[in-house]
């Protein structure tokens, strides 16, 4: 009687790295043969939150992993299927008793998938081992001990990748398996303007930031053009797991001890902690995907204007900085934090659109789409948490302060390129004579503003401040603070 060989499977998701990967480390510690698996699941490939730029980044990450695995005569089994069908097929060839992965703080469809997969594993006598990811703890009722737990996680030694000789399933065996699957084509357009996936590229960004680019981090963090080089630009590599937050944090910590620009590195480290904080918040309040965390704001009703939304998505609002940001995002998948806040503020406050209407477009555009960051930030910028400072960003004021020479605007809104700088910021101030002199015509070459910035700001501010006085909003505020802040933390405005 032929006995199927035993196999330990690592199900890779948002942890596309070999180093400091607890799922891989635990699988290797078993001492058995290990297969590294990535599944391009139709439920995510077809989900409205994702776009081709994400799948290309993931494919490039897998290609990079395969390069790292060559010395071990192995590679990633990358298939187009759902996870249950994939494991079912593996069971036809192998005795799979253990599957390893991290706990995913994802969107609702991944939560439902995980529940189904858990039942499948139980019914097939498979042990599914899930480890925490980047310090995010599952099952917490409040944050009483979270800070200590998170700091402990960040201080632990990173995990090396040290498989025993022949421990990883061989390329030959994986190629035999591939005959039973629809194997993913990993080719991508490497000429695209997006950052390329893979740990190797992520380390290049990280190293150049630590070596020199961090010097201007605090001075340029809010500037749409300068931030593109002075910020770390590692957010996609954290979002898709090419780098772990822990290893980045530890590198920054050790560098800070002797760095001349220690304050810049401390500011960078605080944002790494901030990232874990927000993902933890989403882990504990998964309903944030569809509704405001503060139930008092469920009463806020906004009309839906497809015309406004289309102008915003295409960068044709008549406000140059907003339009430059939206076009830059479409083209490159990146905006610095302040500009992300600004475009959401404009959408939810000036256009007075529900934040839910912005979720899928922005998630598709952001190369670093991370659900645990995405939803809390949308709600915070929309002013619907009840605990954060209400910020209605003025696109003209921000334009003049953070892009004073209009270089970012002129780069991404070329129809304004030949205008004098003051008019590039506010083209609608041009007289008929000035338009003729510049061979530029508002309403034809560039749209008139689609809303009155002062009137819409006033309406949004008054409406939201009035709602903050509502009894339900205030009771929800206390509930949220009690659940998501430790008793030691009194800085509510940033939480």
pLDDT for position 487: 53
Distance from C-alpha of 329 to C-alpha of 364, rounded to nearest angstrom: 10
Q: How many domains does the chain have?
A: 3
Distance from C-alpha of 65 to C-alpha of 41, rounded to nearest angstrom: 19
| Same domain flag for 273 and 366 | no
Domain boundary among 284, 304, 328: 284
Q: What is the pLDDT of residues 287-346, one digit of tens each?
A: 999 999 999 999 999 999 999 999 999 999 999 999 999 999 999 999 999 999 999 999
Whether residue 232 is contained in a domain is answered as yes
Distance from C-alpha of 52 to C-alpha of 16, rounded to nearest angstrom: 17
Element (H, E) at 281: helix 262-284
Q: Which residues of the chain have pLDDT under 50?
A: 489-495
CATH code where residue 210 lies: 1.25.40.80
Whether residue 186 is contained in a domain is answered as no
- Alpha carbon 97 to its chain's center: 33
CATH code where residue 40 lies: 3.40.50.620
Please provide the distance, in angstroms rounded to a whole number, between the alpha carbons at the two ends of the chain.
61
- Token pair listed for 200: 């190797």
Instruction: Give the three-class secondary structure for 47.
Output: coil
| Same domain flag for 372 and 271 | no
Whether residue 189 is contained in a domain is answered as no
pLDDT for position 491: 40
| Same domain flag for 131 and 220 | no
Q: What is the pLDDT of residues 36-57, one digit of tens each?
A: 999 999 999 999 999 999 999 9
> Which residues lie closer than 8 Å to 369 by C-beta, 6 or more apart?
49, 50, 54, 239, 363
Whether residue 188 is contained in a domain is answered as no
| Same domain flag for 273 and 359 | no
> Which residues lie closer than 8 Å to 279 by C-beta, 6 or more apart?
105, 134, 136, 370, 372, 373
Domain boundary among 178, 211, 234: 178
pTM of the predicted model as reported, rounded to 2 decimal places: 0.96
> Which residues lie closer than 8 Å to 218 by C-beta, 6 or more apart?
263, 264, 267
pLDDT for position 494: 39
Domain boundary among 242, 264, 284: 284
| Same domain flag for 86 and 172 | yes
| Same domain flag for 468 and 360 | yes
Whether residue 430 is contained in a domain is answered as yes
| Same domain flag for 308 and 404 | yes
pLDDT for position 2: 61
Whether residue 141 is contained in a domain is answered as yes
Q: Edge to edge, what strands does the sheet with 95-102 contain?
A: 77-80, 34-40, 6-12, 95-102, 127-131
Distance from C-alpha of 434 to C-alpha of 440, rounded to nearest angstrom: 8
Q: Say what angle helices 262-284 and 471-484 make with each other, to 10 degrees.
A: 110
Task: State residue 358 phi and psi, 5-degree precision.
Answer: -100, -10
- Alpha carbon 87 to its chain's center: 28
- Alpha carbon 271 to its chain's center: 13
Which structural domain, as residue segments, surrounds residue 43? 6-178
Distance from C-alpha of 148 to C-alpha of 143, rounded to nearest angstrom: 10
| Same domain flag for 280 and 295 | no
Query: If you count them, how many residues does the chain have?
Result: 495
Contact 484, 281 (CB under 8 A): yes
| Same domain flag for 166 and 225 | no
- Rounded to 5°, angle at Cα 159 from 157 and 161: 150
Whether residue 46 is contained in a domain is answered as yes
Task: State residue 364 phi and psi, 5-degree precision.
Answer: -65, -35
- Give just the sign of the alpha carbon dihedral 398, 402, 405, 411: negative
Q: What is the pLDDT of residues 104-116, one digit of tens each?
A: 999 999 999 999 9
- Alpha carbon 388 to its chain's center: 21
Task: State residue 77 phi and psi, 5-degree precision.
Answer: -80, 110
- Token pair listed for 247: 């290893």
CATH code where residue 358 lies: 1.10.579.10
| Same domain flag for 488 and 364 | yes
Distance from C-alpha of 127 to C-alpha of 118, rounded to nearest angstrom: 9
Contact 101, 34 (CB under 8 A): no
- Token pair listed for 79: 């298939």
Distance from C-alpha of 237 to C-alpha of 304, rounded to nearest angstrom: 35
| Same domain flag for 311 and 409 | yes
DSSP 442-455: BTTTBPPPSS-HHH
Whether residue 303 is contained in a domain is answered as yes
Distance from C-alpha of 174 to C-alpha of 75, rounded to nearest angstrom: 8
| Same domain flag for 164 and 24 | yes
């Amino acid at each position: 009687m032929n006995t199927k060989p035993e196999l330990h499977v690592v199900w890779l998701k948002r942890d596309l790295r070999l180093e400091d990967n607890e799922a891989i480390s635990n699988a290797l510690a078993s001492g058995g043969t290990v297969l590294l698996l990535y599944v391009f699941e139709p439920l995510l490939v077809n989900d409205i939150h994702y776009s081709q730029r994400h799948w290309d980044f993931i494919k490039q990450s897998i290609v990079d992993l395969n390069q790292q695995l060559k010395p071990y005569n192995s590679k990633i089994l990358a298939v187009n299927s759902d996870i249950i069908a994939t494991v079912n097929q593996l069971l036809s060839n192998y005795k799979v008793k253990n599957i390893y992965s991290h706990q995913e703080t994802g969107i609702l469809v991944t939560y439902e998938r995980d529940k189904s997969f858990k039942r499948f594993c139980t019914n097939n006598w498979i042990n599914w081992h899930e480890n925490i990811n980047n310090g995010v703890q599952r099952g917490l009722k409040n944050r009483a001990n979270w800070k200590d737990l998170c700091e402990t996680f960040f201080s632990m030694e990173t995990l090396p990748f040290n498989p025993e000789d022949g421990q990883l399933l061989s390329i030959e065996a994986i190629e035999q398996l591939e005959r039973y699957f629809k194997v993913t084509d990993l080719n991508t357009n490497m000429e695209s303007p997006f950052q390329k996936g893979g740990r190797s590229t992520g380390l290049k960004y990280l190293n150049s930031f630590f070596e020199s680019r961090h010097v201007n981090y605090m001075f340029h963090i809010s500037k749409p053009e300068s931030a593109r080089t002075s910020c770390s630009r590692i957010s996609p590599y954290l979002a898709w797991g090419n780098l772990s937050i822990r290893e980045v944090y530890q590198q920054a910590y050790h560098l800070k001890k002797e760095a001349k620009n220690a304050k810049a590195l401390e500011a960078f480290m605080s944002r790494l902690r901030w990232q874990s904080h927000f993902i933890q918040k989403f882990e504990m309040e998964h309903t944030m995907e569809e509704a405001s965390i503060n139930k008092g704001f469920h009463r806020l009703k906004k009309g839906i204007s497809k015309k406004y939304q289309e102008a915003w998505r295409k960068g044709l609002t008549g406000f140059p900085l907003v339009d430059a940001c939206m076009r830059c995002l479409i083209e490159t998948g990146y905006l610095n934090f302040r500009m992300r806040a600004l475009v959401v503020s404009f959408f939810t406050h000036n256009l007075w659109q529900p934040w839910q209407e912005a979720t899928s477009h922005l998630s598709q555009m952001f190369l670093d789409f991370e659900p645990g960051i995405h939803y809390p930030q949308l709600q915070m910028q929309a002013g619907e948490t009840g605990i954060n400072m209400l910020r209605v960003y003025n696109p003209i004021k921000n334009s003049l302060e953070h892009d004073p020479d209009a270089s970012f605007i002129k780069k991404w809104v070329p129809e304004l390129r030949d205008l004098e700088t003051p008019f590039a910021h506010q083209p609608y101030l041009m007289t008929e004579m000035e338009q003729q002199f510049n061979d530029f015509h508002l309403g034809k070459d560039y749209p008139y503003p689609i809303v009155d910035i002062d009137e819409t700001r006033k309406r949004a501010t008054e409406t939201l401040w009035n709602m903050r006085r509502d009894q339900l909003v205030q009771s929800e505020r206390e509930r949220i603070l009690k659940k998501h802040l430790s008793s030691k933390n009194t800085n509510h405005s940033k939480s």
